[in-house]
């Protein structure tokens, strides 16, 4: 095993070889999204400095921003005490992380027994992606 892979071995991967990654905006502190990484995605994220995930629906590496341009420049990578969750501090290109065109995927707040949408759509998803999905 190469020395540079030791830190990857400290991550507790799921049976599917994945780990959840929380993405936080390093300027605002806002939690932007949660996605999954496999070993290759985490290694490439660390090496390239831009967030790369594993898309479970498309079953391939997903270089965040590859379609939207909403690249996430990684300022810091953290691991939790159990070794089973990654935390990324990022600069969010375009100020939009969510495929709905909002800053954050956490745009609904519980209020009076219902999930209330609190965040505006900053850019129409069809402008971001055309009709090809996220």
**Residue ranges that bind its own copies, judged by CB under 8 A:** 3-4, 6-7, 10, 20, 22, 24, 28-31, 33-34, 46, 76-82, 85, 87, 98-100, 102, 105-110, 113-115
Nearer to its own copies, 26 or 61 (CB): 26
Contact at 8 Å (CB) between 93 and 27? no
Burial of 25 (0-12, 13-18, 19+ CB in 10 A): buried
Nearer to its own copies, 61 or 105 (CB): 105
Kind of pairing between the strands at 114-117 and 31-37: unpaired
What's the rounded Cα separation, in Å, for the pair 101 and 34? 16
Nearer to its own copies, 71 or 74 (CB): 74
CB of 109 to its own copies, least distance (A): 5
């Amino acid at each position: 095993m190469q020395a540079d892979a030791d830190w990857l071995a400290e991550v507790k991967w799921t049976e599917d070889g994945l780990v959840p990654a929380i993405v936080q905006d390093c300027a605002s502190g806002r939690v932007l999204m949660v996605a999954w990484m496999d070993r290759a995605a985490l290694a490439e994220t660390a090496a390239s400095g831009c967030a790369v995930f594993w898309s479970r629906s498309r079953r391939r590496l997903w270089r965040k921003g590859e379609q939207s341009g909403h690249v996430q420049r990684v300022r810091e990578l953290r691991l939790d005490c159990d070794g089973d969750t990654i935390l990324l501090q990022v600069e969010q290109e375009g100020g939009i992380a969510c495929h709905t065109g909002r800053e954050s995927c956490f745009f609904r707040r519980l209020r009076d027994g219902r999930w209330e949408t609190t965040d505006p759509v900053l850019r129409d998803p069809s402008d971001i992606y055309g009709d090809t999905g996220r």
